[in-house]
A and B are shown apart, each in its own frame.
Chain A
Amino acid sequence: MAFMVANGNQGGQTLVLKDVDPETCMIVFRNHWAQVVKILEKHDPVRSNVGILGVGHGLGGGGGLGGLRFGQIPGDEASAVQNYVEHMLILLMEEECGQSGAMGPILEFVVMENVLERLFIWSLRREFTDEMKLEQLKMYEMLIGQARQPLLHHKPILKPLMMLLSSCSGSPSRPSSAVVEAELVLLLNQLCSVLTKDPSVLELFFHTSEDQGAANFLIFSLLIPFIHREGSVGQQARDALLLIMALSAENHVVAKHIAENTYFCPVLATGLSGLYSSLPTKLDVPNEDWHCLSGEDWQQLPSLVQFLNSLEFCNAVIQVAHLSIRDQLVEYIHNGFLVPVLAPALHKLTLEEVMTTTAYLDLFIRIVSEPALLRTFLSFIFLHRHDNVHILDTLVSRINTPFQLGTVSLALFRTLIGLYCEDVMLQLIFKYLISCNHMMLSQRRVLRERDCYSVSAAKFLSLTPSCCSPEIVPPPLRHLDSILWSKGTDGSQKGTEESEEVLPEEDDCVIGSEIHLDVSYVQYLSDAENNIANCMRACRVWSAPYDGENPPPEEYQSSTLEESGRTRPQITSKTTQPQNQVQQSSQPVRDHNAAPGLLELEWDDSYDACPTQPHPEEGQDAGPIQDEPPQHIQEMRRTAIMLVKGSYMEEAEFQNDVMVYDLVAQKDVQDSSNSCHASSKPAESEQLESGEPTSNQNPTESSIRNGPSMEDCKKKEGEPAQSDRSAIPEGEDLMAQYEDLIRSLAAQSSSQTNSELKSPTELMEDEVEFNSFLPETPELERMPSSPFGTKPCSASRGNAVPFTGPFVSVLLSRLENMLNNTLQVNLLLTGILAQLAAYPQPLLRSFLLNTNMVFQPSVRSLYQVLASLKNQIEQLSATRKDFPELLTAAQQCLLARESSLRDSQSPKMGDRIHGPEADKTKKYPAIQPKVIVPSNRTEVYATVLFTEFLKELAAIAQEHSILSQLPMEE
Chain B
Amino acid sequence: MNTFWSMSTNVGRKRSDGEEQGGQGEPRVSPARPPFGKKQLPSIPKNAVPITKAASPATSVQSANGTHASYGPFYLEYSLLAEFTLVIKQRLPGIYVQPSYRSALMWFGVIFIRHGLYQDGVFKFTVYIPDNYPDGECPRIVFDTPVFHPLVDPDSGELDVKRAFTKWRRNHNHIWQVLMYARTIFYKINTSDPLNPEAAVLYDKDIQLFKRKVIESVKLCNSHLFDQPKMDDPYAISFSPWNPAVHEEAKEKMFAHKRLPEDYNKGLQVSGLSWVKPGSTQPFSKEDSPLQT
Binding site for B on A (CB under 8 A): 319, 370-372, 374-375, 378-379, 382-383, 419-424, 426-427, 431, 434, 450, 452-454, 457-458, 461-462, 464, 469-472, 481-487, 489-491, 493-497, 499-500, 502, 507, 510-512, 514-519, 521-523, 525-526, 529-530, 533-535, 537-544, 551, 556, 597, 600-601, 919-920, 954, 958, 961-963, 965-970
B79 proximal to A (CB < 8 A): yes
Taking the closest CB of chain B, its distance from the CB of A374, in whole angstroms, is 7
Taking the closest CB of chain A, its distance from the CB of B261, in whole angstroms, is 11
A514 touches B57 (CB 8 A): yes
B45 touches A500 (CB 8 A): yes
- Given A375-B284, A470-B70, A597-B285, A485 contacting B49 (CB threshold 8 A): yes
Taking the closest CB of chain B, its distance from the CB of A561, in whole angstroms, is 14
Among candidates B89, B258, B274, residue contacting A965 with C-beta atoms closer than 8 Å: B89
Kindly specify which of B61-69, B109-117, B120-128, B179-187 makes contact with the partner chain. Answer: B61-69
Given contacts A471-B69, A961-B81, A968-B39, 19 further A-B contacts (CB under 8 A): A424-B283, A485-B51, A489-B48, A491-B233, A496-B10, A510-B53, A516-B69, A516-B70, A526-B46, A530-B43, A533-B40, A534-B270, A538-B270, A541-B273, A541-B291, A541-B292, A958-B75, A966-B88, A969-B39
B242 proximal to A (CB < 8 A): no
Within 8 Å CB of A452, what residues of B? 79, 82-83, 86, 134, 170-171, 174
B75 touches A511 (CB 8 A): no
B284 touches A378 (CB 8 A): yes
B277 proximal to A (CB < 8 A): yes
Nearest-CB residue, chain A, relative to B285: A597
Among candidates B53, B70, B271, residue contacting A538 with C-beta atoms closer than 8 Å: B271
Closest 9 CB pairs of A and B: A484-B47, A538-B272, A420-B272, A422-B274, A496-B12, A423-B283, A491-B234, A471-B66, A421-B273
Taking the closest CB of chain B, its distance from the CB of A538, in whole angstroms, is 3
B79 touches A383 (CB 8 A): no
Taking the closest CB of chain A, its distance from the CB of B140, in whole angstroms, is 20
B255 proximal to A (CB < 8 A): no
| Chain B interface residue count, Cβ-Cβ cutoff 8 angstroms | 79
Taking the closest CB of chain A, its distance from the CB of B84, in whole angstroms, is 8
Nearest-CB residue, chain B, relative to A453: B79
Nearest-CB residue, chain A, relative to B72: A515
Within 8 Å CB of A525, what residues of B? 44, 74
Within 8 Å CB of B223, what residues of A? none
1/0 per position for B7-30, CB-CB distance to A under 8 A? 011111001000000000000000
B74 touches A453 (CB 8 A): no
Complex Cα distance, B9 from A560, in Å, reads 55
Nearest-CB residue, chain B, relative to A423: B283
- Given A382-B284, A491-B31, A544-B281, A966 contacting B85 (CB threshold 8 A): yes
B240 proximal to A (CB < 8 A): no
Taking the closest CB of chain B, its distance from the CB of A378, in whole angstroms, is 7
Among candidates A419, A457, A493, residue contacting B75 with C-beta atoms closer than 8 Å: A457
Q: How many A-B residue pairs have CB under 8 A?
A: 259
Nearest-CB residue, chain B, relative to A518: B70
Can you sample 23 A-B contacts with CB below 8 Å? A371-B289, A374-B273, A422-B283, A426-B276, A452-B83, A452-B170, A452-B174, A453-B75, A454-B75, A457-B74, A458-B75, A484-B48, A489-B11, A491-B101, A507-B47, A511-B53, A515-B73, A523-B46, A534-B268, A541-B272, A542-B276, A958-B75, A962-B81
B51 touches A967 (CB 8 A): no
Within 8 Å CB of A507, what residues of B? 47
Within 8 Å CB of A962, what residues of B? 15, 41, 78, 81-82, 85
Complex Cα distance, B247 from A149, in Å, reads 59
B68 touches A496 (CB 8 A): no
The A-contacting residues of B in range 165-196, CB under 8 angstroms, are 170-171, 174
B246 proximal to A (CB < 8 A): no
Nearest-CB residue, chain B, relative to A494: B32
B48 touches A496 (CB 8 A): yes
Complex Cα distance, B32 from A383, in Å, reads 54
Complex Cα distance, B46 from A497, in Å, reads 10
Taking the closest CB of chain B, its distance from the CB of A550, in whole angstroms, is 9
Taking the closest CB of chain A, its distance from the CB of B35, in whole angstroms, is 14
Nearest-CB residue, chain A, relative to B101: A491
A521 touches B45 (CB 8 A): no
A965 touches B85 (CB 8 A): yes
A423 touches B274 (CB 8 A): yes
Taking the closest CB of chain B, its distance from the CB of A542, in whole angstroms, is 5
Within 8 Å CB of A495, what residues of B? 11
Taking the closest CB of chain B, its distance from the CB of A968, in whole angstroms, is 8
Within 8 Å CB of B15, what residues of A? 962
Taking the closest CB of chain A, its distance from the CB of B124, in whole angstroms, is 19
B55 proximal to A (CB < 8 A): yes
Complex Cα distance, B275 from A419, in Å, reads 13
Within 8 Å CB of A491, what residues of B? 31, 101, 232-234
B52 proximal to A (CB < 8 A): yes
Complex Cα distance, B89 from A383, in Å, reads 41
B241 proximal to A (CB < 8 A): no
